[in-house]
Amino acid sequence: MQFIVTGYDGKDDGALKRRLAAREAHLAMAKEMVEKGKWLYAAAVLNDEGKMCGSVIVCDFDSREVLDKEWLDKEPYVLGKVWEKIEISRAQVAPFWDKK
């Protein structure tokens, strides 16, 4: 089951500092998720000044519950209060990108 997860960073003065503090742990988890075939694609969202202000991840988990258990419950950007708002939508990757 594929999903698009969009995490929006907080807009307070400490938001970028929190992101940078959690970034290495986030990237380590991202590498693990890619190696397990759970993350299909990911990108940082940039604001008008070119600074990171969010994230978009296209991922594949058995269910929304598994997505939460195997990833979001452990995600450094969630635990570090980087993402202020998270939107999760079911998705279907085009067949020429789908590795399954």
User: What's the pLDDT tens digit per position in 16-60?
Assistant: 999 999 999 999 999 999 999 999 999 999 999 998 999 999 999
User: What would the two tokens of residue 91 be?
Assistant: 């998705």
CATH of the structural domain 2-91, one choice from 3.30.70.1060, 3.30.420.40, 3.90.320.10, 3.40.50.1220: 3.30.70.1060
Q: Residue 96 has what pLDDT?
A: 75
Q: Which pLDDT score is estimated for 41?
A: 94
Contacts of 88 (CB under 8 A, 6+ apart): 3, 4, 5, 6, 64, 67
Question: Under a CB-based contact definition with an 8 Å cutoff, are residues 24 and 5 in contact?
Answer: no
For 47, list phi and psi in degrees, rounded to 5.
Answer: -85, -175
- In this prediction, residue 45 carries a pLDDT of 96
Beta sheet of 2-9, edge-to-edge order: 39-46, 52-60, 2-9, 83-91
Strand partners, 46: 52
pTM exceeding the 0.85 threshold for the entire prediction: yes
